[in-house]
Amino acid sequence: GFLIVSVCCQRCLTDGCIEELHLNQNMKIFLLHIHLWMWYHTAECLTNKSVALGDNVTLSCELDNKDIAWYIQKCPDPPERILRTFDATGNAQYSNITLKQKYSVETNSRLLIKNITFDDLGVYYCLKINEPAFSSGIKIYINDVLQQQYPWPIVTTCVLLSVFLALTLLALLKRIIGGRSGDDAQSSAVEF
């Protein structure tokens, strides 16, 4: 077994595998840096829009208002096209006919999202079709998610129960450890 590993390592060294592995690692690190840089600059350009559940929300496209496509990106999924407009009047072609119930286009290619739900949260982009240029994204988020998901009485009860459980576990551990040290002292006295 050792001879085979030795021969393989020697062959790998002569074939230049070590340099190849080193280059692959450097390339992965370089690609990671590019990805992180792009993510940072994308996050920096986002416009945050606070909404309430059930509201209708209108998003404006900062690009020219003719021949626009609207996209939504929900993490970790890639962007998904919602619709495409051909002029500024509000006519649209939907990527899926069911999206027509949720989204519509107003004048100047503004996107109307009807009855906001948790499923609508994400980053919205408009894209100028003729000259591929994305707008900076608009991130939709619910303004009081914590209050709507976790009412204060439930949070308070959970905190109190967690503290009670922690104190109970500490008391139990102290009793177990205290019992062992007492047993050790008694066994030491018996040996002498």
Beta-bridge partners for 83? 70, 94
β-bridge pairing 92-94 and 80-85: antiparallel
State the amino acid at position 104 in one-letter form.
Answer: S
Two tokens at 191? 């040996």
Is CATH 2.40.50.140 the right assignment for the domain spanning 47-147? no
Per-residue pLDDT of the chain (192 residues; tens, 9 = 90+): 433 334 444 444 455 555 555 556 666 666 565 555 555 545 557 888 999 999 999 998 888 767 888 999 988 888 899 999 887 676 888 999 999 999 998 887 889 999 999 999 999 988 888 877 777 888 888 876 554 555 666 667 777 777 777 788 778 778 888 766 655 555 555 555
Query: What's the whole-model pTM score?
Result: 0.53
Nearest alpha carbon to residue 39 among 118, 121, 123:
123
Q: Pairing state of beta strands 122-128 and 138-142?
A: antiparallel
**139 SS3 class:** strand
Q: What are the sequence ranges of the domains in the chain? A: 2-45, 47-147
